[in-house]
Structure 1
């Protein structure tokens, strides 16, 4: 059989391009079709045709769609606070109304869709498994490929991995170490091929690297151990398995607690030592980690600066008053105070094993570097000292900050004649635990109140201050998120009687104070907090918040433990421990 070609021209002009040839004409190094992707010029985020996302436009939020030819079509949408935050490092989470789409407003120093990228991180610690900085150049000078690029389809480490967030992988091209290698690396182009290379990141100096050992209970441990004492691998703090747990990477104070997109051992709740969540025998549980104790304390402590130990001589009761600030009601007020206005205020927390977390118990008053007073009735359950935690310098109760000073309790003494029925002698003295001698140190947020001289009596109707984290109304379900203070006046003793307090016994160890307007008063949760009054230019502790008939009732005072009755008792307990 003979086939005859009737066309004598160039046969190539008749050939249709094959599908793979069309793809080569329109693609660039294996990424999606150039016409069908949108690239953010500022963040290098790559999105495909049809992808949607939210973004900020000033104070408004837009919903954008990646359209044809790389065009972005955006329109304003209403947003609300996320039901469950998905932002790292204290970012604020907003979600679109009637949608699961969300975006994060990041604090300074962080960026990324979930505030997961640390723009200030310039070196790596250890193998760099926790590195979340923005370096994107390999050791040969090549630009890293975006972990979300379709060019990496089929590769082991991409954003398609279920645990991509925990590994630091996202819609970016920054160096990471998801494979437990010796240092961070990334994918790069080698001609028309894709390879991987280590990045040109330097190791952090020794004095900037966290110690791989624990001091005390290890609440400040920021190392990279991720194995428990039984040899189980830790789950990441942002694992979907622990989103319902009290401590995870989504907490507003997660960064201060050392929690993030990693699985390193931490001790956010003051347990016996660093721990982590594990999945053992088909069950989610937790275990302590296998980390050695530090041999000696670091030579420098930089978090609090060069401050002197707090003492009760000379500096007590002398806050840095700012007269331009308003004073705020402790009960029912819409505005709140700042801890610098009552730097002697303490929050006492107790560890609840059921929830594996510390919960607010009562207020307290710092009277010396290692000593805090509170109300005895707060300790009716006779807690073991190791379950207690004292927090100083905290304006917002649930948010950690650089001003916080957190201590375990070495021991506490309830007054020997405390009466659980009448609340007579309602006082307890706590000794804070310290490894280096002094406990609390002076700062604008932490200062002791002055103890009164024995027998000190102030004039009737002297205006004094109360403060605390208690409820704003008697039947509120929750305690206040933020410290509050109010003004009350000392009532004459002849008006501090059972008749104005529903018949309850009032003893000589108690005093009354209240706001004649019925506005300011202590309430549930304020117990143990301070009643301080001005004396010789210093705020002197005259009372401890003890009990009352409701909260804020007009012509009904609050009842306070009369501190002048206990100065000898306090001195005696302190001397017992010095021998």
Structure 2
């Protein structure tokens, strides 16, 4: 088996490795995938000082056969298109007159060789390949998924303490959205309405109570990638809304089922809406079975007021750090006899030294924004900021819509 592996493997060229199967050359330390002799497996290879180190693995166990960015660096083994067609080999004689083939001068840099794996040699929007349709050579995009970057942030900006939390940069909370409405009396001006959470390129979650006035769709705008609430920023992305969906069982008296879903309108030149940047990124939705321990520390963010009696919203994004309360501490008797349902969860600042009114908490204007918790090194959306008693009151938690109860609702509405 070892003899066959090296026979199929690669030659050494002063520290580089050439795969005899695909005619691809790899530098020291580079890795690649290729079909194994057994059809239901693939081989993972790595160039180690001119010698290939390969081992076979079931196809099902591969978790990295996806692309990042637009896939120019994709080196996976997908060889089928979105329509189900099989890709032609890049060195097929039928492609001799095509621009991108295994004979191109820089073919190995582009990932092209004696194989039919999907690639993106021309900087298109995603990996593609040549196929035969009606006995004619054409091309199609490949059925290869984009690697999920949900819940990841590039870095944590330095924070500036304010009353009830910290000022933050949008790169620390790139899923944060600002929802605004057009001023009916002053054309061109907008009013800040609520926070929101980006969960997909064209979908934003928020709180149902933000939309009780039943705004017209054309009046709503969603701003992504903005550290400052009103100041226009270079990296911000602004979208009109195609439709918004308020939970059909939302109860305005108790805020039960306080969840809404906004469908963003794609830009005219694209099928996509939000473009991923360091300032704009989706949050991860939790798995249905996710259970976090009581008192887990989580984060909230928003452009809301610094304190309950403030006449103004914050000009800059804020963040706070709170802990998840156990269900036994999230009841009506802990919240001045207000109704608390199974669709709600509580979180609050538990620091014993915190001064009343100066504890981290959501406040007016933060509604619809995210409560996120770390799981597997990614931030997951656990709650949507819903309601509370005052802002930052000692031993009084904030109340959030429990997202895990609405995963099927979100999935069903996105299919409509």
Q: What TM-score does the superposition give when structure 2 sets the normalisation length?
A: 0.62
Structure 1, residues 262-301: CA drift from partner, whole Å, max 9, x if none?
Answer: xxxxxxxxxxxxxxxxxxxxxxxxxxxxxxxxxxxxxxxx
1:171-570 matches, within 5 Å, as 314-322=148-156, 325-326=158-159, 328=161, 332-333=164-165, 336-356=167-187, 357-434=189-266, 435=268, 436-517=270-351, 518=354, 519-570=359-410
CA RMSD of aligned residues (A): 2.0
Conserved in 2, the CA contact under 8 Å of 1:345 and 1:468?
yes
- How far apart, CA to CA, are the structure 2 residues paired with 1:570 and 1:404? 26
- How far apart, CA to CA, are the structure 1 residues paired with 2:207 and 2:381? 13
Q: What TM-score does the superposition give when structure 1 sets the normalisation length?
A: 0.45
Structure 1, residues 297-334: CA drift from partner, whole Å, max 9, x if none?
Answer: xxxxxxxxx999xx996100000123x723756x534x
Paired position in structure 1 for 2:86: none
Paired position in structure 2 for 1:156: none
Structure 1, residues 113-170: CA drift from partner, whole Å, max 9, x if none?
Answer: xxxxxxxxxxxxxxxxxxxxxxxxxxxxxxxxxxxxxxxxxxxxxxxxxxxxxxxxxx
Structure 1, residues 186-213: CA drift from partner, whole Å, max 9, x if none?
Answer: xxxxxxxxxxxxxxxxxxxxxxxxxxxx
- How far apart, CA to CA, are the structure 2 residues paired with 1:466 and 1:312? 28
Please identify which structure carries the higher strand content: 2
- How far apart, CA to CA, are the structure 1 residues paired with 2:363 and 2:198? 20
Conserved in 1, the CA contact under 8 Å of 2:171 and 2:278?
yes
- How far apart, CA to CA, are the structure 2 residues paired with 1:510 and 1:313? 32
The CA deviation at 1:575 is 1.1
Highest Rg: 1 or 2? 1
The residue matched to 1:317 in structure 2 has which SS? coil
Q: Which runs of 5+ in 2 are unaligned?
A: 1-123, 127-144
- How far apart, CA to CA, are the structure 1 residues paired with 2:377 and 2:304? 28
Conserved in 1, the CA contact under 8 Å of 2:164 and 2:320?
no
The residue matched to 1:566 in structure 2 has which SS? helix
The residue matched to 1:426 in structure 2 has which SS? coil
- How far apart, CA to CA, are the structure 1 residues paired with 2:260 and 2:289? 20
The residue matched to 1:541 in structure 2 has which SS? strand
The answer to which structure, 1 or 2, has the higher relative contact order (CA under 8 A, 6+ apart) is 2
The CA deviation at 1:361 is 0.2
The residue matched to 1:550 in structure 2 has which SS? coil
Q: Which runs of 5+ in 1 are unaligned?
A: 1-305
- How far apart, CA to CA, are the structure 1 residues paired with 2:125 and 2:221? 22
- Cα distance change on mapping 1:570 and 1:328 into 2, 3 Å: farther
The CA deviation at 1:560 is 0.1
- How far apart, CA to CA, are the structure 1 residues paired with 2:125 and 2:173? 19
The residue matched to 2:289 in structure 1 has which SS? coil
Conserved in 2, the CA contact under 8 Å of 1:365 and 1:372?
yes
- How far apart, CA to CA, are the structure 2 residues paired with 1:509 and 1:451? 16
- How far apart, CA to CA, are the structure 2 residues paired with 1:473 and 1:313? 40
The CA deviation at 1:374 is 0.2
Conserved in 1, the CA contact under 8 Å of 2:159 and 2:167?
no
The residue matched to 2:167 in structure 1 has which SS? coil
The CA deviation at 1:551 is 0.4
Paired position in structure 2 for 1:183: none
Paired position in structure 2 for 1:267: none
Conserved in 2, the CA contact under 8 Å of 1:307 and 1:441?
no
- How far apart, CA to CA, are the structure 1 residues paired with 2:195 and 2:167? 16
Structure 1, residues 393-451: CA drift from partner, whole Å, max 9, x if none?
Answer: 00011111111000000001000100000000000000000132100011110001000
Conserved in 2, the CA contact under 8 Å of 1:312 and 1:369?
no
- Cα distance change on mapping 1:327 and 1:510 into 2, 3 Å: farther
- Cα distance change on mapping 1:349 and 1:466 into 2, 3 Å: same
The residue matched to 1:571 in structure 2 has which SS? helix
- How far apart, CA to CA, are the structure 2 residues paired with 1:501 and 1:321? 36
- Cα distance change on mapping 1:416 and 1:533 into 2, 3 Å: same
